[in-house]
Structure 1
Amino acid sequence: MVLHLSTFHLEGGAGVAATRLHRALQKSGTESRMLVPSSQNPEENVVALAENSWELKKAWGRFVAERLYFFPHEKDKTVRFAFSPAGIGTDISNHPLVRQADILHLHWINFGFLSLSSLDKLFSLGKPVVWTLHDMWTVTGGCHYSRGCDRYLSHCQYCPYLAKPGQYDISFSQFETKKGIYEKTKMALISPSNWLDQIVKNAALTQDIFSKSIPNCIDTGLFAPSDKTLIRKKLHLPTDKKLILFAGANTQDPRKGFSYFKDSLKRLPDEVEVLVLGKANPAVFDSFPAPVHYLGKITRQEDMADAYNAADMIVVPSLEDNLPNTIMEAMACGTPAVGFATGGIPEMIDHKHNGYVSEFKSADSLAEGINWVLNNNNHALFSAHAREKVLDSYSESVIAAQYQNLYQSLLSE
């Protein structure tokens, strides 16, 4: 039995990706279970540690305590959720599912779910561990994305996220603790993108651990093309405009590149309007150079598919990203993508074949890419290519098979 460990069930990119893999493995015949701190969406074979209101409060308390633990160290509030000290967590080493598992499969486990001490106890069980990395935290002294810092290549210290960086700061101590933990069991580090896999292979903490790239997967039956005009009428959107989608978990997060997207709109024709999906303050759209249709935060995947199908393209101007679910979801619906040449984005978008890869941090290049797709998607050719890429590279059966082979090799060794 494979046990997936994830802070989130169906929230955030990492939680969604973990759940999709769990479901794909079940469809492919693997006995799979998932253990999460809490869940708002009951699902068979997904077990929440918090089964009542008191335990939910305790889970929330661990999240708050973990943030308070970091508060004295943070440089400023912009890095508050960008660094996880992993000082607070819960011990699940004696949980029945952990004891029954043949493989422990970790995903994103921060924010009070698993601390460094929790990981130490899990790894000390000696069970094979597969860890799917959804950001850089596994290879660093605490940051989720390094923002250009390369100290993780030798040893984290003098961390730029900290108010008082030093030779023996908390990034140094976390780095040292992780080094000791990682030596305790057989482990495979899996990166959804080749970009992140290269980081893993070069990082001092992980360069001697087996690693490879296996993409996230998606249900291509749920995320599939549908009639654009009918969807727009259903969502009360204009049928005679070109609609560009920006889908970010939080438009206020600088890493999502929302400012570059806004700037690029000044260079687009009048027929272009914007769809925004995710957490945002609607007031920020008042000064937009193009009309905005704000769809809010959508959680139902069926509604997400409708949003992708309503758009002529998706724009993902992330400054750091692994393998964005939004690009995969849009392309599965036959919606071409435009994004910066960073992280795993160029692995997903084949330049001028199913979308456009723009010059990093260039609003001009982003606008050029948007215009290029608008002007050249004749007979929906890019749309067909986008769908084809997902079917070939990210479908459930394709990805489940790669993980099944990995599990078997770990167990046979």
Structure 2
Amino acid sequence: MSTSTKNSNFATNSKSNSSSNHPLRIALIRQKFRFDGGGERIVSHISDILSSHGHDVSLIARQWEGTNSSVLKCNPPKWTRVQRESLFAKQAITISEQENFDLVQSHERIPGCQVYRAGDGVHRCWLEERSRKMSGWRRWLLFRNHYHRYMLAAEKSMYEDSRLKCVICNAQMVADEIQKHFAIDPANLHVIYNGVDTTRFHPKLKKYRTRVCNELQISPEQSIGLFVGSGWERKGLTQAIRGLQASPELSLIVLGRDKAQYAFEKLAAKLGVQKQIHFAGVQSDVASYYGAADFFVLPTLYDPFPNSILEAMASGLPILTTTKCGAAEMITNGENGYILDSLDDTGWQNVMQKCSNREQCRSMGLQARSKVEPFTYDAMQQKLTALYDQLLNGND
């Protein structure tokens, strides 16, 4: 059966199978799957939801670990970044066609899928934000880079492919960007926020503050900020370091890793704030660090919706983030956090200085907790289930 014929019969076949209570065969595509990745946790939740409704779910992946799904290996050569993306995309779609799946959902930018989860946002928007800090010639080179040109073309091809039935967005910001930049029916864009474990991430984690402070040799009387994530250029660690300059009474814990860590340490020394920053590396027990902190800071250049912000809010921390972070949709300035432009040096110093008031942080953190309480895994599951029921019964 040709690809076009197979997809034109998608709604009819799915409706017939669903009404007969026959399990549908569904493929989820993700290049690398590790049990501890944020995006991968979403893939696992989606797989569990579909499997719990009796569907047969397979993962098409290059590498994987810690998944209960059956796996179809897709590991073509990858000598360059472009080949890594393009050859995987081509082979993954070929496998899905050969296996004759009823529904193909990709978590990578792959033309030909029927459902796409836009967890990485819009590549063009990321490049635009990244280029704001660059000189004219570097900006010119950025947009002419072979890898970025491939990603931009693949993104446009995927969003404007007639086979695409549905896009799951984890923030309204992402849905708005897709609608702005691509010829796509707005009715195909569905905003479903991620869920967070509000039992595990809770203000009661404050009990770990003394232990963490002792480990990192921080005074528990100080106000402590927390930064979580890897890829520190995009996450805005430079801005967080600069924000400490006006507040010698603040400490900042940095969780995660980056190959350029030495450059960030050097910047901190240059600015005279090296004693205020504590690089704690990758931690398996992130929850205790939320408990140790007074506020959460993420001056990201561009981030669709980091799970770390939901976890921090659930743990009772006010959030400092940017206008190009999807999580800003959860923040009301001065109530449960602050929203700034990622390049506003003075603004970041001002709001971080405000966070030296621990009592104010505690009050704002309780409002952050209240805001995020409805965003549970159960709430996410209900919305995803309703969407899949609509798709698999041919009502798209």
TM-score, L = length of structure 2: 0.74
1:5 paired residue among 26, 29, 46: 29
CA-to-aligned-CA distance 1:124-165 (integer Å, 9 cap, x gap): xxxxx321102345xx6xx57241599xxxxxxx99521589
Distance 2:277 2:60 in 1: 36
Q: Does 1:311 align with 2:293?
A: yes
Distance 1:384 1:34 in 2: 41
Distance 2:56 2:330 in 1: 27
Distance 2:67 2:146 in 1: 44
- Shift in Å, 1:202: 2.1
- Shift in Å, 1:193: 0.9
State the AA in 2 paired with 1:206. Answer: I
* 1:12-411 equivalence runs, <5 A: 12-23=37-48, 25=49, 31=55, 33=57, 35-37=59-61, 41-45=65-69, 47-50=70-73, 59=75, 62=77, 64-67=78-81, 69=83, 86-89=86-89, 91-92=91-92, 99=99, 102-107=102-107, 109=108, 116=110, 119-120=111-112, 123=113, 129-137=114-122, 143=124, 145-147=126-128, 160-163=142-145, 174=154, 177-178=157-158, 182-183=161-162, 185=163, 187-207=165-185, 210-233=188-211, 236-237=215-216, 238=218, 239-251=220-232, 253=233, 255-270=234-249, 272-280=250-258, 281-283=260-262, 284-285=264-265, 287=269, 289=273, 290-298=275-283, 300=284, 303-375=285-357, 377-378=359-360, 380-392=362-374, 394-411=375-392
- Shift in Å, 1:198: 0.8
* Aligned-partner SS, 2:128: coil
Distance 2:379 2:98 in 1: 27
Task: Give the direction of change, closer, same or farther, for the CA distance of 1:356–1:309 in structure 2 (3 Å limit).
Answer: same
- Shift in Å, 1:191: 1.2
Distance 1:37 1:406 in 2: 24
RCO higher in structure (CA 8 A, sep ≥6): 2
- Shift in Å, 1:285: 2.3
- Shift in Å, 1:396: 0.6
In structure 1, stretches of 5+ residues that fail to align are: 51-57, 70-83, 111-115, 124-128, 151-157
State the AA in 1 paired with 2:44. Answer: T
Distance 1:264 1:315 in 2: 10
* Aligned-partner SS, 2:242: helix
More helix by share: 2
Distance 1:8 1:347 in 2: 29
State the AA in 1 paired with 2:350. Answer: E
* Aligned-partner SS, 1:294: strand
- Shift in Å, 1:276: 0.6
- Shift in Å, 1:402: 1.0
CA-to-aligned-CA distance 1:317-345 (integer Å, 9 cap, x gap): 01112112221121122222111222413
* Aligned-partner SS, 2:230: strand
TM-score, L = length of structure 1: 0.72
> Are the counterparts in 2 of residues 261 and 366 from structure 1 also a CA contact under 8 Å?
yes
* Aligned-partner SS, 1:410: helix
Distance 1:41 1:161 in 2: 34
Task: Give the direction of change, closer, same or farther, for the CA distance of 1:88–1:3 in structure 2 (3 Å limit).
Answer: closer
Distance 2:330 2:388 in 1: 25
> Are the counterparts in 2 of residues 66 and 88 from structure 1 also a CA contact under 8 Å?
no
> Are the counterparts in 2 of residues 244 and 274 from structure 1 also a CA contact under 8 Å?
yes
Give the total of aligned pairs: 350
State the AA in 1 paired with 2:171. Answer: S
In structure 2, stretches of 5+ residues that fail to align are: 1-23, 132-139
Q: How large is the RMSD of aligned CA atoms in angstroms?
A: 3.6
State the AA in 1 paired with 2:287. Answer: A
> Are the counterparts in 2 of residues 328 and 390 from structure 1 also a CA contact under 8 Å?
yes
CA-to-aligned-CA distance 1:289-311 (integer Å, 9 cap, x gap): 1422211123x3xx111222221
Distance 2:101 2:179 in 1: 28
Q: Match for residue 76 of structure 1? A: none
Distance 1:34 1:371 in 2: 49
Task: Give the direction of change, closer, same or farther, for the CA distance of 1:341–1:98 in structure 2 (3 Å limit).
Answer: farther
* Bigger mean CA offset, 279-288 vs 304-313: 279-288
Distance 1:382 1:174 in 2: 42
